Amino acid sequence: MLSILKSYGIMLILAMGKTIELCLLSLVFAMVIGLIFALCNVARKRTLNVIGTVYVDAVRGVPLIVLAYFIYFGVPAGVQAAGFMNFRLSALQAGVIALSMNCGAYMAEIIRAGIESVDRGQMEAARSLGMTYGMGMRHIVLPQALKTMIPSIINQFIITLKDTSILSIIGFPELTNVGKTIMGNTFKSLETWAIVGVMYLIVIVSLSKASKRIERRLNVGR
Amino acid sequence: MADKKIMVSVRNLKKSFGKLEVIKDLSVDIEEGEVVVLLGPSGSGKSTFLRCLNQLETVTDGTIEIDGVCVTDKHVDINKVRENIGMVFQHFNLFKNKNVLQNITLAPVELKIMSKTDALAKAEELLARVGLSDKADAYPAQLSGGQKQRVAIARALAMNPDIMLFDEPTSALDPEMVGEVLTVMKELAADGMTMVVVTHEIGFAREVADRILFMDGGYLVEEGTPDEILNHPKEARTIDFLNKVL
């Protein structure tokens, strides 16, 4: 165990950094994607509802691993076949796209539920004063929805952090992938995976502890 | 008295929710400065009628003109019209994430009707008028029902509306708080505001209304002065309703 930490410690920490980088980038895009499709879903326009539902159903209906393969191998192959021979996606780019799309679909559902939890009278009051739908959303409904959404959003953060490990299959050097390399070099699978597991555990537990604190602080203001 | 300006003109209004016809055929004119009270059993379409006036509900058929603008016309910028129509809701609907001052100043500032400084001055003045100057920094959750409703009235007045709509403004209040809200509404009526009020407060209707409209089953059954409607009702349904509530 100690020998692994001695020879591969730095590598493991760098890999953890890569994991967190991938996760944070994906989360930022997922929030944007989630917000757009959630707004589609709560809009009173049939076409927008259909767009929102199709996206959420399609992405949730495909395993992340298949989505990752599709984007990393399938999409570039298709674009190249269409004549753009120089088109490539790096493992990081493909990973962020796959994770953002996946997490974005779940985020859309969280945000939709949050918006629907806000009393309809809030938007009606805003509209009755002459404010537009967008103003009502921005100033009144979304800030109130955010409060109820925080626990689910942090839960989704944790799931996404764990999902980064799936992207080891497209060769992105995140923590799980580095774990595979170390195991290949040392043949010490028990020690290697115990260390990798504990590293995930530490980051995720601190994240959920932090989320509890944020929740408590938000509730004080009520 | 010379002819007063017509503020609200409703012609053959019909409103259905799916198969349910809530307003069947309603035509009415309301003059500038007039206080009109809508009475009637629940489900008679009073609230729906009120919500049609500022287009919180789209009408199924018929036309509504507010201050000469046809709000049922799809090409009219309804947001502009709503700036002139204040509305007070049964459940207050104060913005929960904003304090009292922010509740009052948000719309005028956001819609660029007033500068922030002017809006704040106006808000202070309105809060003084409804007797809540000391609550400027409170959040809605910290106010009683009566206080919330007075803030809601101040919020609507901040837009300098020509008409005020009241949708059962005292129905969600504890009995001892009804008076404080009605007092504010009476002062508003005395100042010459055009008001359309849905209420079950017969006493308020008797004292403040210029005209009472009695609605039942989606129709305007009877209209007249408070004396005519409350003391000498002609229609059987009006008599029946008044026997139950008086």
Q: What is the tens place of the pLDDT at every residue in A51-71?
A: 999 999 999 999 999 999 999
pTM, 2 dp = 0.88
For residue B187, the distance in angstroms to the closest alpha carbon of chain A comes to: 21
DSSP A12-41: HHHHHHHHHHHHHHHHHHHHHHHHHHHHHH
- Shortest CB distance from A128 goes to which of B56, B97, B106? B56
For residue A129, the distance in angstroms to the closest alpha carbon of chain B comes to: 6
For residue A137, the distance in angstroms to the closest alpha carbon of chain B comes to: 12
Q: How confident is the model at residue A2 (pLDDT cuts 50, 70, 90)?
A: confident
Residues of B in contact with A134 (CB under 8 A): none
**How many Å apart are CA B187 and CA B193, to the nearest integer?**
9
Residue length, chain B?
246
Nearest to B52 by CA among B32, B22, B93: B22
Q: Which long-range contacts (CB under 8 A, 24 or more apart) does A171-176 make?
A: A171/A91, A172/A18, A172/A22, A172/A91, A172/A92, A172/A95, A173/A15, A173/A18, A173/A91, A174/A15, A174/A18, A174/A19, A174/A22, A175/A12, A175/A15, A175/A16, A175/A18, A175/A19, A175/A199, A175/A200
What pLDDT, on the 0 to 100 scale, is given for residue B3?
66
Residues of B in contact with A124 (CB under 8 A): 56, 89, 93
Report the 3 state secondary structure along B35-46.
EEEEECCCCCCH
Q: How confident is the model at residue A212 (pLDDT cuts 50, 70, 90)?
A: confident
Does residue A222 have a pLDDT over 70? no
Asked if the Cβ–Cβ distance from B56 to A124 is below 8 Å, we say yes
What pLDDT, on the 0 to 100 scale, is given for residue A142?
96
Residues of B in contact with A143 (CB under 8 A): 97
Integer distance in angstroms from the first to the last C-alpha of chain B? 34
Q: In what order do the strands lie in the sheet with B6-17?
A: B69-70, B61-66, B6-17, B20-31, B219-224, B211-216, B35-39, B194-198, B163-167, B85-88
Asked if the Cβ–Cβ distance from A126 to B107 is below 8 Å, we say yes
Residues of A in contact with B96 (CB under 8 A): 122, 144
Instruction: Work out the number of other CB atoms within 10 angstroms of the CB of residue B20.
Output: 9
Q: Any CB–CB contact under 8 A between A144 and chain B?
A: yes
pLDDT digits (tens, 9 = 90+) for B55-111: 999 999 999 999 999 999 989 999 999 999 999 999 999 999 999 999 999 999 999
